[in-house]
Amino acid sequence: MEPILEIRDLVKRFGGFTAIDRLSLTIRKGEIHAILGENGAGKSTLMNMLSGMLSPDEGEIRLRGEPVKFTAPGQAVSKGIGMVHQHFMLIPALTVAENVLLGMKQDRSPLFRFKKACADIRKISDAFGLDVQPERIVGELSVGQKQRVEIVKTLYRGAEFIILDEPTAVLTPAEVEDLFRVLRTLKAQGKTIIFISHKLQEVQKICDRVTVLRLGKLIGTMEMGETNPAELARMMVGREVAAPVRKSTSQGKATRLEVREVSVTENGAVRLQDVSLQIREGEILGIAGVDGNGQRELSEVLFGLRAKQSGTVLLEGKELAKPHPRKMTDLGIAYIPEDRHKEGLMLPMSIAENLISKQYRESKFSLAGIMHWRRIRSNAEELIRQFSIRATGPNHPVGQLSGGNQQKVILARELMLNPKVMVAMQPTRGMDVGAAEYVHERILQAREQGCAILLISTELEEIMALSDRISVLYKGRIVGTVDREAADLDQIGLLMAGITSSSSVAI
Amino acid sequence: MHASVAGPAAAARWIKGIVEVGFYVGAILLALLVSGLVMAIAGVSPLESYRLIWEGAAGNANSVKETLVKATPLLFAGLSYTFAYRCGLFNIGAEGQIYVGALAGTIVALYIPGLPGYWHLPLCVIGGIVGGSLWGGIAGALKIGRGASEIINTIMLNYVAIYLVSYMVTGPIKDAGGNLPQTARLPESAILGKLFDSRLHYGFLLAIAIAVILYFILNHTVWGYEIRSVGHNPVAATVMGIPVKRNVLLVMMLSGAVAGIGGFVEISGVQNRLFQNFSPGFGYDGIAVALVGGAHPLGNIGSAVLFGGLRSGANSMQRLTGTSTSLVYVIQATIIILVVCNRYWFGGLKRRLILALTARLGNPGEKRPKLSFNLNEQEGKG
Amino acid sequence: MNEEIIASYLAAAIRLSVPLLLAGIGILFMSRSGILNIGMEGMVLIGALSGVLGAHYSGGAGAGLLFSMAVGGCIGLLFGFLVITTGADQVVIGTALNLLGLGITTVFGRSLLGMGQEAVKVDAIPIVGIPVLRDIPFVGEALFHQNLLAYAAYLLVPVVSFLFYKTQWGLQVRAVGEHPLAADTLGVRVHRIRYLCCMIGGMLAGVAGCSISLGILNQFTENMSAGRGFIALSAVIFGKWTPSGTMAAALLFGGADALQLRFRSFGIQIPYQFMLMFPYLLTMVTLAWFSGRNRQPAATAAPYKSLANRNT
């Protein structure tokens, strides 16, 4: 197979930070090539340069032997490079046909002929087994369907070279299989595919060759058959992956948080169905599952951000009748939200102000409605020291901190409550390894101090590393709960796919 | 890391403040220049006009008092917009809130009879508060209840208010003794006292007091902290347990109340009776005042005086030469445009200037990769 | 009620709806591309004055119309520059534009047309009657005996509809108003489209102004737009951001305006001010009622930095 894409000594910097450091890589025509790496390794930056959303600072990209320079995505598209982004670039208010046709001319005519567009799209959809309905409004489609629309978009534009950025992050296991089938069909028709991921098992299943990136550098490129997951993991992380040392389990201690038969419906769709779980003092219960199976709803219900249709939640045996974020905080429930920028912080405000956003009404921070800024500042100084937050001081705007430091601010704020219960959603999302380790340490420390922790994460490795017990959430139901010692990755993977031990048929 | 940079850090803040103000002043001067060009094209002499405007604004003691008289309603309107703005709300409805506040206050003045001196005026002001907060509250309620844009609703309510007052003064509360669309003259007990034996009235001091109060609320109270949090990120505020809807409504009401007071004050202190279309766009000017004042309650005082001076000067210019006072609108509009765009056109220059100056002090500052390096939005006490 | 009164009322309703319709379509172009324009008041005023100036100095309504389209287009581009390239807040710039319009037209109006005591009269836009059709009872006068601009305005509606929903360019405009980033990744020139829409909006504002100064009143008086810029915005909102909806709303509001002028002659006792409030109240009700299904383009009023710019 001859090379279709060559990257030579590519460099990309953002200010003083080098995202891609002298990267050289060759992609062969007709292969499915995986780009592996952790969050922050540079995968998305690299792909954004290939697809024209970013320009490299140094280095060269050669497509079919000729050097190319992209300053806008349209140029890459015209050269046959199509990109399916992790966050879909689709317009919800318009139909599939309108989304696919946007920016293109049908037969050089300025008119937009809806019927013809639908016919053409159906042709492509059938040719590649994509099952896309052009008349539907994109906002009404499922995640998997939307992804296929994105693929159709690239094919309609004559893409020979398709880049998929973390395509399986939002798919159910069944949808992942569908996607793989589509990718194999595309490959059979001569397309070249780049598959960006951090999920080793999937990469192993579908890809021919794999390239590992770490901290913006190329670590190695190998044929899939010549390597194994352990080796790949080591290359991704740079060292042996070790589970953190934990003390003994919390046998015999009291139940701190109990959830009984909680159900949540939204717009007629069931999001949670009869969910029950218990967490004891000093225990970490990990909720595993693919994103979109009810995790967000569960955490929101527990923290009072969402109403439940039935069921009860009990804290230390007492029912929480009408949960509300403020009440939960007063009762000692800490909450680390999934999206720290949107839900966890006021970015233009200072560290000091963010640290007290749950406790500002306490008498040590305000009296008779007047804020006590000196105490608020010194509290911040203390926490900055304790949590080693890298900043110029308590007045430093939180929006200017790195992701890891921002999460430290959130952690500090929550742990300052001396919480009895902590609900942590994706606590290390988008953080580099060092910062993630710090977060894990702190969570374990809280566990030592008797906090009952509900850890919700789509990263199975994280769940396995931290949890005492693991439950799996699938389509809004708890489909299985195991102790950490007895847990088996394959079994959990099956549960995540909806296959319980009592039946071999998916739910 | 904190104690050791206390000295240079404080100096850095001074430098930042001075540079910011410098750029604002520069924007204003540029606006005056551009307006001068427009005047020249229209066949009006810019130098002569500006000289007359200056005379009328600050040339002598009388001019200064007139400037402050004109600045008073502008300050109320500016504070109204500023306060809502800090909560992330765009209250374009100060104009309507002024009208309804004036209406309510006038009704109290005329129809609540027989009160001893001290109580009448404050009661009328409360009327203004009630009217203005009602008007602001409607838009606020629609926003929290139906998610309707307060931008559109406040604009709509402006017109409703103007027509409502027009109806009232041509009908129900019209001065029975005359034929003009206006109310009877307000009783003495409802008229604001004058300062220095001139047209300047206590309303100006009331406006300053409210500016200080709003500043204090925003920066030193628990409520102000909640307001600012909601203004920066309503989603996160909800997660923290800060009541977003309640604050949106209260802020719209208080913002409307401030404008409402301003409306009544204008009637009580200057016009002495309510008539239709008494406001030449104070509410909209308030937006300009707020902008040039940096969306800061105390900054509004300065910009209100600036715009008040322009108005007063333009009035005197019209008296003397016949050139329309509408010229002032051109100047105002160019000031708004240049001040707003100043951030975008000169933002980079400003940043580099500040960095260069603070570097000379030996304060290294922290280099951050990329991120939104926005010095304009630093919050919190320091 | 006799036929003549009804016919004359309907004719007035349509006549008064024309400026609203024109300004409304102008706002529609800008809105659909994601730009909120509350400065139509000022733009219409400038258009009104330009029309009179053009007609006065070159003797002809046609010249006035062309001149006001040119000036309006420039103002639109200026607005576009300030909110697209500079990224300034659209509400603030719109407010500034209203102030600017009022100020400039008053100043130039006085200096170029005299002190306003003796209003300068100019040729009106010709009224054209269509034979036979205009004799239809009740609606004949209203529909087939209007000035040229009225015909043009109403014919514009299906044209604009076609443009938005049946052409590639129209699709791009709609996309840009909903999700400019997605459009950008497909090579759609977001800024260029928005600029074009601003220019079109400005030109239509100019024509709308002419329809008042040359079409209805044959002169320029200060502040003659009298809130029509905002009523046009109401029409777009009430019309759910569609061309046909805007037309229906403009007709409705024009009808209300014609009605309040005739209250006394119809023997209606409602104070005319309440009729004047009608468009605004209706808009508020619309916004409140349709809260869940708001069809406002999703990216309205949000500045957008194009990907090409982010590369540098």
Model pLDDT for residues A63-101, shown as the tens digit of each residue: 888 888 888 777 888 888 988 988 888 999 899 999 998
Do the domain assignments include residue A88? yes
Model confidence pLDDT, tens digit, residues C213-234? 887 777 777 777 788 889 999 8
As a whole number of angstroms, the distance between CA B29 and CA B36 comes to 10
Residues of chain B in contact with residue A14, where contact means CB-CB under 8 angstroms, are 369-370
Residue A430 has pLDDT above 50, yes or no: yes
Residue B198 has pLDDT above 80, yes or no: no
Model confidence pLDDT, tens digit, residues A140-198? 888 888 999 999 999 998 889 999 988 887 776 677 888 999 999 999 988 999 998 86
The rounded Cα B182 to chain-centroid distance in angstroms is 26
- Mutation target vs C (from B155, B345, B372; most C CBs, 10 A cutoff): B155
Residues of chain C in contact with residue B148, where contact means CB-CB under 8 angstroms, are 284, 287-288, 291
Cβ atoms C177, C33 nearer than 8 A: yes
Higher pLDDT, B37 or C78: C78
The fraction of chain C above a pLDDT of 90, given in percent, is: 38
Averaged pLDDT for residues C266-292: 80
- Helix/strand/coil for B106: helix
Model confidence pLDDT, tens digit, residues B180-197? 888 888 887 778 877 776
Residue B380 has pLDDT above 50, yes or no: no
Nearest 10 degrees: Cα torsion C26, C29, C33, C38: 20
In angstroms, the separation between the Cα of residue C80 and the nearest Cα of chain A is 22
Yes or no, beta carbons of A89 and C186 under 8 Å apart: yes
Q: Does A139 touch chain C (CB under 8 A)?
A: no
Task: Give residues with Cβ within 8 angstroms of B265, minimum separation 6.
Answer: B72, B73, B76, B125, B128, B192, B201, B203, B206, B207
In angstroms, the separation between the Cα of residue B284 and the nearest Cα of chain A is 28
Neighbours of chain C (3+ CB pairs under 8 A): A, B
Tokens standing for C185? 């990744």
Residue B117 has pLDDT above 70, yes or no: no
Q: Looking at the structure, do residues A270 and A206 belong to the same domain, yes or no? A: no
Go through A88-127 and write b for each residue having 16 or more CB atoms within 10 A of its CB, e for each that does not: bbbbbbbbbbbbbbbbbeeeeeeebbbeebbebbbebbee
Averaged pLDDT for residues B346-352: 76
Residue B121 has pLDDT above 70, yes or no: yes
Cβ atoms B136, B259 nearer than 8 A: yes
Domain ranges of chain B: 66-322
Residue B77 has pLDDT above 50, yes or no: yes
Choice among B35-39, B88-92, C278-282, C294-298 with the minimum mean pLDDT: C294-298
Q: How confident is the model at residue A393, as a pLDDT? A: 86
Task: Give residues with Cβ within 8 angstroms of A269, minimum separation 6.
Answer: none
The fraction of chain A above a pLDDT of 70, given in percent, is: 90
Domain that holds residue A280: 255-344+419-496
- Mutation target vs B (from A346, A387, A400, A413; most B CBs, 10 A cutoff): A346
Do the domain assignments include residue A359? no
**Count of helices and strands (H, E) across chain B:** 13, 0
CATH of the domain at A173: 3.40.50.300
The structure tokens 């300034």 sit at C88
Higher pLDDT, A479 or C29: C29
Residue C312 has pLDDT above 50, yes or no: no
Q: Looking at the structure, do residues A7 and A138 belong to the same domain, yes or no? A: yes
Model confidence pLDDT, tens digit, residues A99-133? 998 988 777 778 888 888 899 999 999 888 888 89
Do the domain assignments include residue A275? yes
Averaged pLDDT for residues A447-463: 87
Residue B97: pLDDT band with limits 50, 70, 90: very high
Q: Looking at the structure, do residues A259 and A330 belong to the same domain, yes or no? A: yes
In angstroms, the separation between the Cα of residue A76 and the nearest Cα of chain C is 9
Q: How confident is the model at residue B372, as a pLDDT? A: 32
Q: Does A363 touch chain B (CB under 8 A)?
A: no
Residues of chain A in contact with residue B371, where contact means CB-CB under 8 angstroms, are 399-400
The chain-wide mean pLDDT, for chain B, equals 84
Q: Which CATH class for the C3-307 domain? A: mainly alpha
Do the domain assignments include residue A298? yes
Model confidence pLDDT, tens digit, residues A354-374? 999 999 988 889 888 899 999
Phi then psi for residue C98, to 5 deg, are -60, -45
The chain-wide mean pLDDT, for chain C, equals 84
| Cα angle for residues A401, A435, B368 (degrees, 5° grid) | 25
Q: Looking at the structure, do residues A279 and A160 belong to the same domain, yes or no? A: no
Model confidence pLDDT, tens digit, residues B157-169? 999 999 999 999 9
Model confidence pLDDT, tens digit, residues C37-53? 999 999 999 999 998 88
Residue A506: pLDDT band with limits 50, 70, 90: very low
Q: Does B5 touch chain C (CB under 8 A)?
A: no
In angstroms, the separation between the Cα of residue B240 and the nearest Cα of chain C is 26
Residue A23 has pLDDT above 60, yes or no: yes
Q: Select from B146, B151, B327 the Cβ nearest to the Cβ of C107.
A: B327
- Helix/strand/coil for C17: helix
The structure tokens 């009810």 sit at A294
Tokens standing for A36? 């592996």
Higher pLDDT, A451 or A166: A451
CA neighbor of A369 nearest in space, from B129, B226, B236, B379: B226
Q: Looking at the structure, do residues A32 and A150 belong to the same domain, yes or no? A: yes
Residues 313-332 of chain B whose Cβ lies under 8 A from any Cβ of chain C: 322-324, 326-332
Residues of chain A in contact with residue C174, where contact means CB-CB under 8 angstroms, are 94, 98
Q: How confident is the model at residue A65, as a pLDDT? A: 84
Go through A461-487 and write b for each residue having 16 or more CB atoms within 10 A of its CB, e for each that does not: ebbbbbbbbbbbbbbbbbbbbbebeeb
The phi-psi region of residue A310 (left if phi > 0; otherwise alpha if psi is between -120 and 50; otherwise beta) is beta
In angstroms, the separation between the Cα of residue B248 and the nearest Cα of chain A is 17
Residue B82 has pLDDT above 80, yes or no: yes
Nearest CA in chain B to A393: B2
Q: Does B145 touch chain C (CB under 8 A)?
A: yes
Q: Does B37 touch chain C (CB under 8 A)?
A: no
- Residues A108, A113, A118, A123, CA torsion sign: negative
Q: What is the DSSP string of A171-221?
A: --HHHHHHHHHHHHHHHHTT-EEEEEES-HHHHHHH-SEEEEEETTEEEEE
Averaged pLDDT for residues B365-381: 33
Q: How confident is the model at residue C1, as a pLDDT? A: 58
Q: Looking at the structure, do residues A284 and A336 belong to the same domain, yes or no? A: yes
Q: How confident is the model at residue A241, as a pLDDT? A: 46
The chain-wide mean pLDDT, for chain A, equals 84
Residue A252: pLDDT band with limits 50, 70, 90: low
Do the domain assignments include residue A331? yes
In angstroms, the separation between the Cα of residue B242 and the nearest Cα of chain C is 24
Number of folded domains that form chain A: 2
Residues 63-102 of chain C whose Cβ lies under 8 A from any Cβ of chain A: none
Q: Does C187 touch chain A (CB under 8 A)?
A: yes
Do the domain assignments include residue A351? no
Yes or no, beta carbons of C99 and B38 under 8 Å apart: no
Residues of chain C in contact with residue B332, where contact means CB-CB under 8 angstroms, are 96, 99, 103
Classify residue A397 by its DSSP letter.
Answer: B
Q: Does A137 touch chain C (CB under 8 A)?
A: no
Q: Does A103 touch chain C (CB under 8 A)?
A: yes
Q: Does A35 touch chain C (CB under 8 A)?
A: no
Tokens standing for A492? 């959990």
Q: How confident is the model at residue A130, as a pLDDT? A: 85
Model confidence pLDDT, tens digit, residues C157-210? 999 999 999 999 999 999 999 999 888 888 888 999 999 999 999 999 999 999
Residues of chain B in contact with residue C291, where contact means CB-CB under 8 angstroms, are 146-148
**What is the separation, in whole angstroms, between the first and last Cα of chain B?**
15
Nearest CA in chain A to B3: A393
Tokens standing for C15? 């006549």
Q: Does C114 touch chain B (CB under 8 A)?
A: no
Averaged pLDDT for residues C79-90: 89
| Cα angle for residues B337, B310, B252 (degrees, 5° grid) | 60
Phi then psi for residue A82, to 5 deg, are -115, 140
Higher pLDDT, A233 or B250: B250
The fraction of chain A above a pLDDT of 90, given in percent, is: 25
Nearest CA in chain B to C271: B167
Residues of chain C in contact with residue A83, where contact means CB-CB under 8 angstroms, are 185
Model confidence pLDDT, tens digit, residues A329-347? 888 899 999 888 889 999 9
Residue C291: pLDDT band with limits 50, 70, 90: low
Q: How confident is the model at residue A507, as a pLDDT? A: 35
In angstroms, the separation between the Cα of residue B1 and the nearest Cα of chain A is 7
Averaged pLDDT for residues A255-280: 85
Model confidence pLDDT, tens digit, residues A366-396? 888 899 999 999 999 999 998 888 888 898 8
Q: Looking at the structure, do residues A184 and A313 belong to the same domain, yes or no? A: no
Strand ranges in chain B using DSSP code E only, listed in sequence order? none
- Helix/strand/coil for C211: helix
Q: Looking at the structure, do residues A121 and A200 belong to the same domain, yes or no? A: yes
As a whole number of angstroms, the distance between CA A472 and CA B305 comes to 65
Averaged pLDDT for residues C126-139: 70
Q: Does B374 touch chain C (CB under 8 A)?
A: no
Q: How confident is the model at residue A245, as a pLDDT? A: 53
Q: Number of residue pairs across B and C with CB atoms under 8 Å?
A: 139
Averaged pLDDT for residues C293-308: 68
Averaged pLDDT for residues B309-322: 85
Q: How confident is the model at residue C174, as a pLDDT? A: 93
Go through B141-159 and write b for each residue having 16 or more CB atoms within 10 A of its CB, e for each that does not: bbbbebebbbbbbbbbbbb
Do the domain assignments include residue A291? yes
Q: How confident is the model at residue C145, as a pLDDT? A: 75
Q: Where are the alpha helices (DSSP H) in C135-271?
A: 140-144, 148-166, 168-178, 180-185, 190-213, 228-238, 243-261, 263-266
Nearest CA in chain A to B373: A400
In angstroms, the separation between the Cα of residue C101 and the nearest Cα of chain A is 35
Q: Looking at the structure, do residues A282 and A205 belong to the same domain, yes or no? A: no
pTM for the whole structure: 0.83
The fraction of chain B above a pLDDT of 90, given in percent, is: 43
Cβ atoms A472, A288 nearer than 8 A: yes
Residue C66: pLDDT band with limits 50, 70, 90: very high
Averaged pLDDT for residues B220-227: 95
As a whole number of angstroms, the distance between CA A421 and CA A256 comes to 8
Q: Select from A352, A371, A381 the Cβ nearest to the Cβ of B222.
A: A371
Q: How confident is the model at residue B39, as a pLDDT? A: 81
Tokens standing for A56? 């490299």
Q: How confident is the model at residue B101, as a pLDDT? A: 96
ipTM of this complex: 0.83
Q: Looking at the structure, do residues A37 and A182 belong to the same domain, yes or no? A: yes
Q: Number of residue pairs across A and C with CB atoms under 8 Å?
A: 86
Q: How confident is the model at residue A400, as a pLDDT? A: 86
Q: Looking at the structure, do residues A50 and A151 belong to the same domain, yes or no? A: yes
Q: Looking at the structure, do residues A229 and A334 belong to the same domain, yes or no? A: no
Do the domain assignments include residue A366? no
